[in-house]
Every structure is written in C-alpha cells, then in structure tokens.
A and B are shown apart, each in its own frame.
Chain A
Amino acid sequence: MHPEITRIQSMLDSQGYVADRELATSVYLAIELRKPLLIEGGAGVGKTEVAKVMAKALDTDLIRLQCYEGLDATTSLYEWNYQRQLLHIRLQEHSDLPLEAREREIFSEPFLLKRPLLQAITHHRAPVLLIDEVDRVDDEWEAFLLEVLSDWQITIPEIGTIRAKHVPYVVLTSNRTRELGDALRRRCLYLWIDYPVFEKELTIVRRRVPGVDGQLADQIAAFMQFVRRAKLDKVPGIAETLDWSAALMALHRDHLDREAIEQTLGVLFKHRDDAELMRSQWLDHLLRGLEQIDREPRPWNQQTIERVADNILPRR
C-alpha cells in the first residue's frame, strides 16, 4: 500500500473514523489530484463525517455549505450587507464625494457578506469545502456549482473577478433523492459508502460508545444487520446505531430484549410509520434472530449473522 494511504487511514482512525481501504484511497486521491470527491450512500453511513475528519487530518478549516431546494447564488456565494450600506449612505449624506465614488464605496469588500463558496475561495489556506446533500439543489444551481468547481473564480459585477488563492479540497455528498447531472459527476472522484458489515459496525460501536458492554455491543451490531433487511421506508444508518446505543446505555440496559427495544424504537426509527411497522411486523422475527445468534459461539462475524438472518428473514 502507498505509504500516504496508510497514513491517511491511520489519521482517519485516530479521529475516531473507522475507514476501510477504499475510503482512504479515495481521500488520498482527492487530495493528491485535487479533484472533488463525490460521496454517495444511504442516510447515516458517515458521508458528512468524511469531510470533517479530512479537515482535521489536513489540519485545515472546514467550510460547510448545506444544500436545500431553492439554494441560490446569494445564499451560497455572496450577498451585500444592506443594513450596513444603508447606514453608510446616511452617514455620508452630506459628504461632497461624487455619486460614483460613494457608490463604489458601498459596493466594496467591507460591505460584502461572504457565503460559503466565496469564503472557501478567499480563505487564507486551502480549506475543506463540504457541499452537503448536493442532490437537493435544482439544476440551475448545479450548473453554477460546476462552473465554480472548474474555474475556481467568481465574478462579482461591482468588484470584479475573484480568483481562488488556494484551491479548496472539495467533498460533495448526495443521498440520491435526485439524480445528479453527468457533467458534475464526471468532474468528481466517486465513492460509494455502503452500510457497514457486522465487524465494522461493531468496531464503530465499541469505539464511539465509551463504556459499552461487550455483549450489548455484539447484540446491537447484529440487530442492526437484521434491521437493514426489513422492508422499511428509511433504513437506519450508523448515526442511528450510535444514537440507539447511547440511549440503551442511558437506560442502563446490558442486553437487548423486547422491552428495551420497544422503549427505544423512536431513537432508531425517525419515521412513525417505520416504528409502527417494526413493532407490528418485524420485531418478532428480529427477536427470534437475536435468540438464535446468542446460541452461536462468539466472536460472531458477518457469515454467522447472514446465516441466521437468512433463517429468519428473506434477503432484501
């Protein structure tokens, strides 16, 4: 393995992020080739986390742009500080400066509100720019983003063209609610993060939930593998696993049973329908799975889990 990839992997590891080789290689290439990294995967598999950890590992700042439907240039790029401009006009009311000079004054950098994209471009050192949930924006903004990503310069009519001092490291995440354009995809490196296998999830739970009981951690990780086979609207990700583990810990549970699970369903399923489905249709099967897996010799692995899961649930 390339020494730099090993270094990145252990760096991610030291930040508490369990990274496999695929992820480390992609992050390495994103840094090395200075190409944006597009990360896709289900909700809660740790896509956003990659950017955060990357910023820490590179010891640089993270600038985050949260996308939403209707995001436009004024909220992502820059906006004039109108209040300040108005105030300034008032103060200058009796000045002798010609109109043009006054106008130039209020449309200068001190009156500019920098939004994430402009911030990233003018940052004093190359930051990590996280463009989160890019699938939520509309086509126009996507085209606009593409332009920014290719030229790394922004034109503000009143000021002129601002060129990036340092090209940022860019991470884009998408939940695939809308198919992204080909042009944007092709500009990026691509990484698909799948739901973790049993072993990886177990490692994450043990690492991120301090003081978790070994038996409970095993059961949680196994249960999550079962849950992801159930036909639900929103499949819970690692984020949910961690929240759930914390909730179980707070309730001083040391193993999983019907009562513990029913008490904490709301943490695991953020949709009422899913929680309801779980209670009415799936829970019995999953509990049977837990019983069966508990009879298996430890340590369990993905094969053990899958064998049991095939018994109790059809494959998704």
Chain B
Amino acid sequence: MTFCRALRHRGISIGPKEAADALRALVAVDLSDRRESYLALRSVLTSRRDDLFIFDHVFAEYWNPPQEQQALPQMPQPLPQTGEAQAATPTLLRWLDEALEADGEQMPAYSPLETLTQKDFSAFSADELDEVARLVVRIARRVATRVSRRMRQARRGRVDLRRTLRGSLRRGGEIIDIAFRRRKIAKTKVVLLADVSGSMDLYSRFLIQFIFALQHTLGHVETLVFSTSLTRVTDALSEADLHRALDEVSRHVPDWSGGTKIGHSLRTFLKEHGDLLTPRSVVIVISDGWDTGDMDILEHAIAEIRRRAGRVIWLNPLLGSPGYEPICQGMRVALPYVDVFASVHNLESLRQLEKFLAVKK
C-alpha cells in the first residue's frame, strides 16, 4: 500500500485497481523469491518505459533501505498461497479502496497563475520557470485537444452499405437511394520548424516544451530544429519524459544556440523532408527572422513551402515587444509568403495559437 503511494508520489499513475492487481499478483507468485516478487510488481504497477526506472528506484529504496541492507523487513505479510489468501483479498480490497480514496484528496490540484500568462518569457525569474513550464504543457494539451476536435468535425461522406441495404429492402431489393456514412478525413499534419539559434535561446526552452507537449497530445507533429543546419527531432522528442527528451535533442543537434541560416535550413528541409508538405499540412516556423545567410535562398525556400503546404504560420517572439516592426531583412523577405504572422512571447500568445491551426485556404 505505502509502496503504491510512494510510486504515485514519483508520478506513476496507480489507481485502486492497479494496487488490487498488485496484491493478486503477489498472491500468484512465489513470495519468498524476491526477484520474482519484484518482477511481478513491476509488471503490474508500471505502464510505460519511463516508469521502469522510477519503479526500480522506489523498489530499492522501499524494500532495501540503506541502513538495513540485508533484511527484507516491510514485505507484505507473506500471504498464504491457498484459499485463505483468496478469502482475504476482498477485505484487503475494501481497505485499499478507502485508503486510496483518502489519499486521492490530498493530491495537489493545480491552479493556473493568471499573472504569469501575460509576462514575457524573458522576464521570468528562475523560480517561476518550473511553474511556467508546467503551464506551457497544459496550454499545449488544451490547444491540441481543441485542434483534434475541430478536425473531427471536418467530414466527408462515404457510401453506407448497411443503411443503403436497409432502405432497399423496403423496395424489394432495388437500390434507389444510396445512404452515406460520414467518415473522418485524414488528419492535419503539423510540421514545426523551430529556430534554436543564439538569438532565440531565451525562447527556445519554452518552445521546445510546447512542441513536446503538442507532439505528445496531437500525435501528428513533425518537429525539426534549425540554426545553421537542420535536424529532425521528432523521434528524440517522442521520449515520454521531457528531460530525457531534451537530453536526447541536445545530443542530436550539433549547433544548439549557434548562429542562424534560416534560408539554408529551410532549403534542407525541402530537400530532405519535402514529403511532409501536403495541402493538409500546417507548417509552423518559430523564429525571430534574424538570418545571417543568403536572402535569395530564404525567399525561394519559403515560397516553395507556401506553395506545397496548406498553411504557413510564422511565430515570432519579438512581435510581442512594443514598437517592434518586422524590419530585419529575413523577416521582411519571408513575410509575403506567410498566412499568419503571430507572436509567441508569452503564455497568452501560446494559447492564441489554437485558432491558427486549422487548414483553410
């Protein structure tokens, strides 16, 4: 019981049912065999790869506290293997239910901090960052679910044989009316091109977090990051845990926070990942437009992307600063080819992102 609670504290989701199954599993295996009990509990109480590490850690801590290395102290009362155990289970379950419910109430409920949402990312103090990071994830989730709901409403008919046949029966088997069935269309694919060069360093931390959450909820997101060159990080970001994902990303990206060659990067994108662009895909470029490369290349690349994709959104964190005008060369070149030019300097602006994510042309 307390073991389950310890696991839950580390973020593994365990409900009463899992805890009950853990008990049933312990009854089913040889309890005197420690490794076996361990494997059984692990099999029941974990549900994703990242849980495994946490589980191992908690298990070691719990059943082998550093001081009393050898003893196997708080193992649950060795449950007899026979009918007695089965009889005992319902009582245990009831107790479990109550215990877990009581525990559930203590779970901290999260309340969004409104003041944070208006603040520029660059203005946060270190201790606010964690809070903000969590908020970013929540917003991304919400954006993602709204987006997919909207996509579900975009529909197209298909012949419904079942209803057609039903109708025909009434006319002696002659098919006169063809009934249609509505079916979901292929989902919109979101392609994110995020600038992680030096000038964007401040914002990239949040953006990556945002992208990560978006990818996790939406599923159909391809993520590429660029500064002087381009790297696809979709797989790296698909690690279920953000911190490991970030490690993974930084390992894959050679020039994190270097200079920027937007045009060059976009051209690489077209060449190597051009198949991601379809009339159904939404391309989101996140960059401040400070390009140190060749403007012609940039113009060609963005024009090409515009032609092949359903929608091009350019998010610029600088747009949030009062008095900013897109005068830097790169931005000026790219602007004519962009459907939506918006800001991502604070949390509120991330929230706004939702309304841009539908393809309509």
Q: Residues of A with Cβ closer than 8 Å to B?
A: 1-2, 5, 21-22, 25-26, 28-29, 32-33, 35, 38, 40, 80, 82, 85-86, 89-90, 93, 99, 102-103, 106, 138-140, 176-179, 182, 185-186, 188-192
7 A-B residue pairs with Cβ-Cβ distance under 8 Å, sorted by A, are A22-B43, A26-B43, A82-B165, A86-B165, A182-B13, A185-B47, A186-B14
C-alpha spacing A93/B171, complex, angstroms: 10
Name the CB-closest residue of A to B49.
Answer: A192
A176 to B50 CA separation, bound complex (whole angstroms): 12
Shortest beta-carbon distance, A27 to chain B, in Å?
9
Known: A21-B39, A35-B21, A99-B170. A190 touches B46 (CB 8 A): yes
A5 CB contact (under 8 Å) in B36, B42, B162: B36
Q: Nearest chain A CB to B132's CB is how many angstroms away?
A: 23
Nearest 9 A/B pairs, CB to CB: A185-B47, A89-B173, A25-B39, A2-B30, A32-B28, A26-B43, A189-B43, A178-B219, A190-B46
Which of B43, B173, B216 is in CB contact (< 8 Å) with A29? Answer: B43
Chain B nearest CB from A274 CB (Å) reads 13
Q: Is the CB of B18 within 8 A of A1?
A: no
Residue numbers of B with Cβ under 8 A of A are 13-15, 17-18, 21, 24-25, 28-30, 33, 35-36, 39-40, 42-44, 46-49, 51-52, 148, 161-162, 165-166, 168-170, 172-173, 184, 187, 216, 219, 238, 240
A139–B144 alpha-carbon span in the complex (Å): 13
Interface centre among A29, A106, A178 (most CB of B within 10 A): A29
Number of A-B contacts (CB under 8 A): 103
Question: Hey, which chain A residues are within 8 Å of B169, CB to CB?
Answer: 89, 99, 102-103, 106
Verify A182–B44 contact, CB threshold 8 A: no
Main secondary structure of the interface of A (DSSP, over half): helix
Q: Which single member of A29, A33, A85, A190 contacts B47 (CB below 8 Å)?
A: A190
The interface residues of chain B lying within 8 Å CB-to-CB of A139 are 148
- CB neighbours (8 Å) of A25 from chain B are 29, 36, 39-40, 43
Given contacts A25-B39, A90-B173, contact A33 B48 (CB under 8 A): no
CA distance A1 to B148 in the complex (A): 48
Quick one: which of A25, A26, A93, A191 has the most chain B CB within 10 A? A25
